[in-house]
Amino acid sequence: MSMEVTAWNAVYNAMHAQEDRRPFSKATIRRILGFAQPHKRELIGFLVLSAIGAGLAVATPVLAGRVVEGIINGEATSVVITLAVVIAIIAVAEAGFGLFERWLSARIGEGIILDLRTAVFGHVQKMPIAFFTRTRTGALVSRLNNDVIGAQRAFSDILSGVVSNIVTLVLALVVMMTISWQITLLALVLLPVFVLPAQRMGRRLARLEREAANHNSHMSTQMTERFSAPGATLVKLFAQPANELSEFASRARRVRDIGVRTAMVQWVFITALTLVGALALALVYGLGGFYALRGELDAGSVVALSLLLARLYAPLTALASARVEVMSALVSFSRVFEVLDLKPLIDEPPNARPVPEGPVSVEFDHVDFAYPSADKVSLASLEEVARLDVRGGDQILRDVSFRAEPGQMVALVGSSGAGKSTIAQLIPRLYDVDDGAVRLSGADVRELSIESLRRAIGMVTQDGHLFHESIRENLLLARAEASEDELWDVLRRARLDDLVASLPAGLDTVVGERGYRLSGGERQRLTIARLLLAQPRVVILDEATAHLDSTSEAAVQEALGEALAGRTALVIAHRLSTIRAADQILVIEAGEVVERGTHVELLARGGRYEELYRTQYQEQASAAADAVPEPAG
**Span 30-66, pLDDT tens digits:** 888 787 888 888 888 888 888 888 788 888 888 888 8
Provide the pLDDT for residue 6. 55
Provide the pLDDT for residue 415. 86
Q: Which of 112, 120, 114, 113 is nearest to 37 (CA)?
A: 112
Query: From CA 244, how far away is CA 140, in angstroms rounded?
Result: 25
Query: From CA 19, how far away is CA 34, in angstroms rounded?
Result: 24
Instruction: Classify the C-alpha dihedral 74-77-79-82 as positive or negative.
Output: positive
Q: Which of 574, 554, 530, 578 is nearest to 409 (CA)?
A: 578
CA atoms in the 13 A half-sphere facing the CB of 539: 29
Provide the pLDDT for residue 320. 64
DSSP state of 393: P
Using the predicted structure, report yes or no on whether residue 437 has a pLDDT greater than 50: yes
Provide the pLDDT for residue 71. 82
Give the dihedral of Cα atoms 378, 382, 386, 387; nearest 10 deg: 0
Query: From CA 10, how far away is CA 214, in angstroms rounded?
Result: 22
What average pLDDT does the segment 441-452 reach? 91
CB atoms within 10 A of CB 149: 16
List helix spans (H) across 126-159.
Answer: 129-134, 137-142, 148-153
Using the predicted structure, report yes or no on whether residue 628 has a pLDDT greater than 50: no
Split at pLDDT 50, 70, 90, the class of 368 is: very high
Q: Which of 471, 453, 596, 455 is nearest to 525 (CA)?
A: 471
Provide the pLDDT for residue 234. 67
Fold of 3-340: ABC transporter transmembrane region fold (1.20.1560)
Global pTM reads 0.69
Using the predicted structure, report yes or no on whether residue 406 has a pLDDT greater than 60: yes
List helix spans (H) across 238-344.
Answer: 241-293, 299-320, 322-340
Split at pLDDT 50, 70, 90, the class of 367 is: very high
CB atoms within 10 A of CB 26: 7
List helix spans (H) across 436-594.
Answer: 450-456, 471-476, 484-493, 497-502, 520-534, 550-564
DSSP state of 388: -
Q: Which residue has the higher pLDDT, 312 or 540?
A: 540
Query: From CA 298, how far away is CA 290, in angstroms rounded?
Result: 10
Provide the pLDDT for residue 633. 41
Average pLDDT, the chain: 79
What would the DSSP string read from start to end of 409-451?
EEEEEESTTSSHHHHHHHTTTSS--SEEEEEETTEEGGGB-HH
Give percent of the chain with pLDDT exceeding 70. 80
Type of residue at 582: A
What average pLDDT does the segment 222-245 reach? 71
Provide the pLDDT for residue 546. 64
CB atoms within 10 A of CB 498: 9
How do the domains of the chain map onto residue ranges? 3-340, 362-464+538-626
What average pLDDT does the segment 112-132 reach? 83
Query: From CA 149, how far away is CA 159, in angstroms rounded?
Result: 15
Q: Which of 193-207, 334-348, 515-529, 563-577 has the lowest mean pLDDT?
A: 193-207
Second-level CATH architecture of 362-464+538-626? 3-Layer(aba) Sandwich (3.40)
The DSSP element (H or E) to which 12 belongs, if any, is helix 3-15
Q: Which of 254-263, 402-411, 501-510, 517-526 has the lowest mean pLDDT?
A: 517-526
DSSP state of 227: S
Highest averaged pLDDT of the listed ranges 94-98, 447-451, 507-511, 541-545: 447-451
225 to each of 152, 234, 480, 628, how far by Cα in Å?
31, 10, 32, 41
Query: From CA 528, how far away is CA 460, in angstroms rounded?
Result: 7
Instruction: Classify the C-alpha dihedral 15-16-19-22 as positive or negative.
Output: negative
Give percent of the chain with pLDDT exceeding 90. 11
